[in-house]
Amino acid sequence: MAIEKNNLKKITDYLWEIPKSFRSDMRVPVRIYATEHMLEEILRDRSSEQAINVTTLPGVQEAVLVMPDAHEGYGFPIGGVAAMLLPDGVISPGGIGYDINCGVRLMKSQKTFEELRPHIPSLARALYEAVPSGVGRGGKLKLNTQELDEVLQKGVKWALEHNYAEENDLEHTESRGTLENADPGAVSAHAKNRGRDQLGTMGAGNHFVEVGRVEKIFDGEAAKTFGLYLGQITIMVHCGSRGLGHQVATDYIRLMLNKLSNYKIILPDRELACAPYSSPEGKSYLAAMAAAANFAWANRQVIMAEIRKAWSKVLGGDGGKLELLYDVAHNIAKIERYQIGGTEKELVIHRKGATRAFPGQPVLIPGSMGTASYVLVGTEEALTQSFGSSCHGAGRRMSRHEALRRVQGDKLKEELQGEGIHIESGSIRGLAEEAPEAYKDIDEVVEVVSRAGIAKKVARLRPVAVVKG
């Protein structure tokens, strides 16, 4: 059944609702955060239909949310948030995504753009050499099963024990970089084999290390609390759980698909494969997901350690410290408590291409190359409106195929360098696929969540160097 704009109810200029009367199997409505113009774009692919499918899942509460950077995914749309009631509501790997704990961390330096300017090319080169990137590329660390199990169990704590982290880093990572319910035993041998040489690596696609400068401050007080100031140099890392996480998702989608009839679950889409949270499959997936999430946090921590070394190598003692502002996951499930119908309830929150936005918490929103990234702050309003969630990035609006047709990687690199953005990339094709025009307008995306009140703008960052696989 095609969804048209006139099927939606406008709640505000930035929030729209598909009522649950739209389709007979919907248990709750869908709420979409978007301007009218952005809504028209969202309705052009299957994101809204996928969100409607999610509303059919057992235990879903209140509404399924769609963020302004949404686009079609697998099962759940990317940019989707759904909350299921414990203990019998379902957990669905498609609501987290194949790249478990794909996320972002932002480091802040003690240097300004003007101070760094002469060193940018050599810093970019040093970062490219320090952080292994590219398709399937392994890194320096090759872990045996016991070592890998420790990473899966401990996450950033493992990194601390092995001198890749400082205590302060844990304080500034979501969940302190460790989900305590992780069980390495719930992760298959195949997943471990895919990931054992990938700790400390970026991967390819839209993953990157980006050196940026604080171009604008929107909220002086919040910026001061975060330690951000105009002209300051920052470094952002975007990557996830690599092949290990991808395999965990594949394994459990298959397992749950085979067990649906045990729980009398009928799905409109196989990629919504799920199981009750309280079931053996549900518990096992959550434990495996937590292990993969820990791997991703350890991954970003090891990458940050390499970045710190490269920074010192290029700038020497004069470079000062690189401190972690924060690290957020944008593909994850968390157990959290919210008011539902006046009573506090325990829910499993699925965030797929969506970021936690708790009050006072930094919310990191990477844009495309050549545009901007944002630091926002979470709000009390997010707890009421959006299960403590916000958007995660710019969201793709153009296929890779189309991007390759329209954009020449070499020319793009020249153009970006002409704009003062130094590029180090292992793949000219990969660069073209990630062209700024392939993505939605990040300023518009962030404006929507800000106007909706679920996260507030603190600072905008402009890239000065991008390192990609």
Partner 1 sequence: MFEILPHRADLRIKVWGAGLEEVFQSALAGMNEVLKPGFCQAERQFSKEVKLELEASDPTVLLVDFLSQVLTASQEQKVIYCKADFENLTSQAVAVKLQGMAVEGFDRDVKAVTYHEAEVKKNEKGEFETVIVFDI
State the minimum distance, in angstroms, from the CB of residue 383 to partner 1. Answer: 30
Which member of 350, 392, 401, 422 is catalytic? 392
Cis omega (within 30 of 0) for bond into 87: yes
Tell me the CB-side half-sphere exposure of residue 333, using CA atoms within 13 A.
34
What 3-state class would DSSP assign to 363? Answer: strand
What 3-state class would DSSP assign to 373? Answer: strand
| CA–CA dist 249, 156 (Å, integer) | 21
Side chain identity, residue 366 = P
Among 12, 225, 258, 417, binds partner 1 (CB under 8 A): 258
Report whether 200 contacts 140 (CB < 8 A). Answer: yes
Q: Are strands 9-12 and 15-18 parallel, antiparallel or unpaired?
A: antiparallel
Among 14, 26, 29, 71, binds partner 1 (CB under 8 A): 71
- Taking residues 271 to 310 in sequence order and writing x for each that binds partner 1 by CB under 8 A, - otherwise, the string is x---------------------------------------
Among 19, 135, 220, 380, binds partner 1 (CB under 8 A): 135
Between 292 and 325, name the residue whose CB sits nearer to partner 1: 292
Stretch that binds partner 1, among 79-87, 153-161, 186-194, 336-344 (CB under 8 A): 186-194
Residues 6+ apart with CB under 8 A from 210: 235, 236, 237, 238, 366, 369, 373, 463, 465, 466, 467
State the minimum distance, in angstroms, from the CB of residue 410 to partner 1. Answer: 18
Q: Please list every residue from 438 through 467 that binds partner 1, using CB under 8 A.
A: none
Supply the DSSP string of 1-68, one letter for each residue: ----GGGSEEEETTEEEE-GGGSTT-SS-EEEE--HHHHHHHTTSSHHHHHHHHTTSTTB-S-EEEEE
- Taking residues 78 to 97 in sequence order and writing x for each that binds partner 1 by CB under 8 A, - otherwise, the string is x-------------------
Between 71 and 457, name the residue whose CB sits nearer to partner 1: 71
Between 84 and 249, name the residue whose CB sits nearer to partner 1: 249
Number of residues that bind partner 1 (CB under 8 A): 38
- Dihedral sign from CA coordinates of 425, 362, 393, 89: positive
Site membership for partner 1, residue 243 (CB under 8 A): yes
392 annotated active-site: yes
- Taking residues 392 to 421 in sequence order and writing x for each that binds partner 1 by CB under 8 A, - otherwise, the string is ----xxxxxxx-------------------
State the minimum distance, in angstroms, from the CB of residue 327 to partner 1. Answer: 21
Among 17, 41, 45, 336, binds partner 1 (CB under 8 A): 45
Residues 6+ apart with CB under 8 A from 168: 323, 324
| CA–CA dist 68, 395 (Å, integer) | 8
Among 246, 352, 422, 456, binds partner 1 (CB under 8 A): 246
Residues 6+ apart with CB under 8 A from 126: 310, 311, 313, 314
Between 366 and 388, name the residue whose CB sits nearer to partner 1: 366
Stretch that binds partner 1, among 8-16, 123-131, 201-209, 448-456 (CB under 8 A): 201-209
Stretch that binds partner 1, among 130-138, 173-181, 319-327, 453-461 (CB under 8 A): 130-138
Among 14, 16, 33, 74, binds partner 1 (CB under 8 A): 74
Residues 6+ apart with CB under 8 A from 57: 27, 82, 84, 89, 90, 92, 272, 274
Between 270 and 451, name the residue whose CB sits nearer to partner 1: 270
| CA–CA dist 280, 260 (Å, integer) | 13
Q: Please list every residue from 98 through 127 that binds partner 1, using CB under 8 A.
A: 98-99
State the minimum distance, in angstroms, from the CB of residue 66 to partner 1. Answer: 15
Side chain identity, residue 90 = V
Region of 314 please: left (phi>0), alpha (psi -120 to 50) or beta: alpha
Stretch that binds partner 1, among 28-36, 129-137, 315-323, 334-342 (CB under 8 A): 129-137
Site membership for partner 1, residue 358 (CB under 8 A): no
Site membership for partner 1, residue 247 (CB under 8 A): yes
Write down the residue that tokens 């696929």 correspond to.
433
| CA–CA dist 394, 371 (Å, integer) | 10
Stretch that binds partner 1, among 10-18, 109-117, 200-208, 318-326 (CB under 8 A): 200-208
Positions annotated as catalytic residues are: 392
Q: Please give the residue ranges that form the binding site for partner 1 (CB under 8 A).
A: 45, 71-75, 78, 98-99, 134-137, 190, 193-194, 203-205, 243, 246-247, 249-250, 253-254, 257-258, 269-271, 396-402
